[in-house]
């Protein structure tokens, strides 16, 4: 049974998508053991509590320095017996030691089709603002493993979403979540939990045992 720790910073709709998928059997062989939030006022914490999941708040600014933050995060992950870390709208940059300790065991959901509209400064609504500014007709979401770069790790799943002429960043964000994020994030967790994802030459191979 894969033991997941979900890292959140905000509303937690992607966390909710995982909670629901575990409950209704779209994710098998996995459980969420812990939710860590970078903010004490994140609504995601309420979602976790409602689902009976243990929560912790670990804030970067409460740590003396990045090393101290890394130690606090690693301690929490180890204490929970974490096998897989899921970044579900987590807005704090991960310390390098954590990425090394969990190589190919941290995944992130990003609200665009990587390599478009990703990297430093591209998060949340900003991603959709830039997609509309550029006038692309198709966007989407990507689940990928986290490496030392920014949105550069091996891609696990992607799903395209059409942009409509009347879209605002807000309507586009909502459609990308509904049509892509909430589907491919639980799907990626299920694939990993069932041993269906391997990494070779910075690419994933999906399927097989």
Residues that bind ligand GAR (CB under 6 A): 8, 10-14, 44, 88-89, 109-111, 123-124, 127, 177, 181
CA-angle at 192, arms to 190 and 197, nearest 5°: 125
Compute CA 4 distance to the chain's CA centroid, rounded to the nearest angstrom: 12
Q: Please, how many CA atoms are within 13 Å of residue 81, restricted to the half-sphere of its CB?
A: 8
Least Cβ distance, residue 200 to ligand GAR (angstroms): 25
Residue among 45 and 127 whose Cβ is closer to ligand GAR: 127
> Is there a catalytic annotation at residue 128?
no
The per-residue b/e assignment along 23-33, b for 16 or more CB within 10 angstroms, e otherwise, is eeeebeebebb
- Minimum separation from the CB atom of position 36 to ligand GAR (A): 13
Name which of 142, 133, 78 is nearest 115 in CA terms: 142
**What is the nearest approach in angstroms of ligand GAR to the Cβ of residue 111?**
4
Q: Which is nearer to ligand GAR, 26 or 159 (CB)?
A: 159
* Active-site option among 110, 128, 144, 187: 110
Whose CB is nearest to ligand GAR? Answer: 89
Q: Active-site residue numbers?
A: 110
């Amino acid at each position: 049974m894969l033991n997941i720790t979900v890292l959140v910073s905000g509303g937690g709709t992607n966390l909710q998508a995982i909670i629901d998928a575990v409950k209704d059997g779209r994710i098998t062989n996995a459980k969420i053991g812990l939710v860590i939030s970078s903010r004490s006022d994140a609504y995601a914490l309420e979602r976790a509590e409602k689902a009976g999941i243990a929560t912790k708040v670990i804030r970067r600014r409460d740590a003396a320095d990045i090393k101290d933050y890394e130690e606090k995060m690693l301690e929490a992950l180890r204490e929970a017996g974490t096998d897989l870390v899921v970044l579900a709208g987590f807005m704090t940059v991960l310390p390098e030691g954590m990425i090394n300790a969990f190589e190919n065991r941290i995944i992130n959901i990003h609200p665009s089709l990587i390599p478009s509209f990703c990297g430093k400064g591209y998060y949340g609504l900003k991603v959709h603002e830039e997609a509309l500014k550029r006038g692309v007709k198709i966007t989407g979401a990507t689940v990928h493993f986290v490496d030392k770069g920014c949105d550069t790790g091996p891609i696990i799943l992607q799903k395209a979403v059409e942009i409509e002429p009347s879209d605002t960043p807000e309507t586009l964000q909502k459609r990308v979540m509904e049509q892509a994020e909430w589907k491919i994030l639980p799907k990626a967790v299920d694939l990993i939990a069932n041993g269906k994802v391997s990494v070779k030459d910075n690419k994933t191979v999906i399927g097989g045992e």
